């Protein structure tokens, strides 16, 4: 049909969609969509098309970590790169979450308490409250250490993919293009501790419910 109409008009139709429309148009995924994703440590980078889709929705991320020393630091989870993405990491004994909106705006939350040693569940939740004029989801991001809320900030999340090619989802490091250009240098792999798994939930359940599931998983070992 496209070529038939082009022949009739003796030319191809110009694309009139705005960039935001192109980026937010649903496209086939390499893997079926589901409500929960579980990623283990030391796995290969997961491409954008197969990774958890957190665009335009509420989400919860919980990292099950064993902290061996007070000086533990590094990335727990990263998704995306310098033109958009988010990362959960430890630095200076504090839990950090940074969200990079389109490479133009970074929002960082830092926990108001130090991270304890031992088996710890560290995470972040984003509760969507609406959309702005740019179709970005707006809401509140909250940091957790175990079941304690340790930081909170209003953020907006990216409407389209973090990258068209390249940086995907990583556990325990942020290689390649950095999610944050101001907080750490690549790959900032986790030291002083070990990650058991990272759970990403987009079902809409509360963070407390996700944490209870994570505790149950840790108790099986």
CATH of the domain at 39: 2.60.120.200
pLDDT for the residue numbered 6: 64
Instruction: Measure CA of the first residue to CA of the last residue in the chain; give whole Å.
Output: 58
Q: Is residue 122 part of a domain?
A: yes
Q: Is residue 13 part of a domain?
A: no
Task: Give residue 9's Cα distance to chain centre.
Answer: 46
Q: Is residue 16 part of a domain?
A: no
pLDDT for the residue numbered 167: 80
Q: Is residue 19 part of a domain?
A: no
Residue 64 and residue 217 in contact, taking contact as beta carbons nearer than 8 Å: yes
Q: How many domains does the chain have?
A: 1
- In DSSP terms, which residues pair with 200 in a beta bridge? 37, 61
CA dist 60 and 67 (Å) reads 21
Q: Is residue 211 part of a domain?
A: yes
Per-residue burial over 95-132, b if 16 or more Cβ lie within 10 Å, else e, is bbbbbbbbbeebbbbbbeeebeeeebbbbbbbebeeee
Q: Is residue 28 part of a domain?
A: no
pLDDT for the residue numbered 183: 86
Tell me which residue range forms the domain holding 189: 34-219
Q: How many of the other CB atoms lie within 10 Å of CB of 150? A: 19
Supply 93's token pair.
Answer: 């004994």
Q: Is residue 24 part of a domain?
A: no
Q: What is the pLDDT along the chain (221 residues), one digit of tens a residue?
A: 656 666 676 665 655 555 555 555 555 565 667 789 999 998 899 988 888 989 899 999 999 999 999 899 999 999 999 889 999 999 999 999 999 999 899 999 999 999 999 999 999 999 999 999 888 999 999 999 998 999 999 999 998 888 766 689 999 999 978 998 888 999 999 999 999 999 999 988 776 566 666 656 555 55
Edge to edge, the sheet with strand 94-101 lists 105-110, 94-101, 84-91, 74-81, 169-171
Query: Which residues contact residue 212 at a Cβ distance below 8 angstroms, ignoring those fewer than 6 apart?
Result: none
C-alpha distances in Å from residue 170, one per residue of 26, 85, 176, 209: 23, 11, 11, 24
What are the DSSP calls for 21-73, one per residue? Answer: HHHHS----SS---SEEEE-TTPPPBPGGGS---TTS-EEEEEEEEE-STT-B
pLDDT for the residue numbered 159: 87
CA dist 173 and 88 (Å) reads 10
Q: Is residue 12 part of a domain?
A: no
pLDDT for the residue numbered 210: 63
Specify the pTM. 0.82
pLDDT for the residue numbered 132: 93
């Amino acid at each position: 049909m496209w070529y038939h109409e082009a022949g009739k008009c003796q030319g191809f139709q110009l694309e009139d969609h705005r960039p935001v429309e192109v980026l937010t148009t649903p496209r086939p995924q390499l893997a079926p969509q589901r409500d929960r994703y579980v990623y283990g440590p030391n796995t290969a980078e997961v491409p954008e098309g197969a990774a958890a889709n957190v665009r335009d929705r509420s989400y919860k991320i919980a990292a099950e970590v064993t902290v061996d020393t007070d000086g533990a630091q590094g990335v727990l989870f990263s998704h995306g790169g310098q033109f958009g993405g988010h990362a959960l990491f430890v630095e200076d004994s504090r839990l950090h979450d940074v969200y990079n909106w389109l490479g133009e705006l970074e929002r960082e939350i830092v926990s108001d308490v130090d991270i304890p040693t031992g088996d710890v569940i560290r995470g972040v939740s984003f509760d969507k409250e609406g959309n702005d004029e740019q179709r970005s989801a707006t809401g509140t991001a909250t940091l957790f250490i175990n079941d304690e809320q340790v930081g909170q900030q209003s953020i907006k999340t990216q409407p389209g993919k973090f990258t068209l090619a390249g940086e995907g989802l990583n556990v325990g490091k942020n290689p390649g293009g950095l999610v944050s250009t101001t907080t750490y240098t690549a790959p900032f792999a986790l030291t002083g501790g070990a990650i058991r798994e990272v759970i990403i939930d987009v079902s809409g359940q509360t963070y407390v419910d996700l944490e209870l599931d994570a505790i149950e998983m840790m108790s099986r070992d």
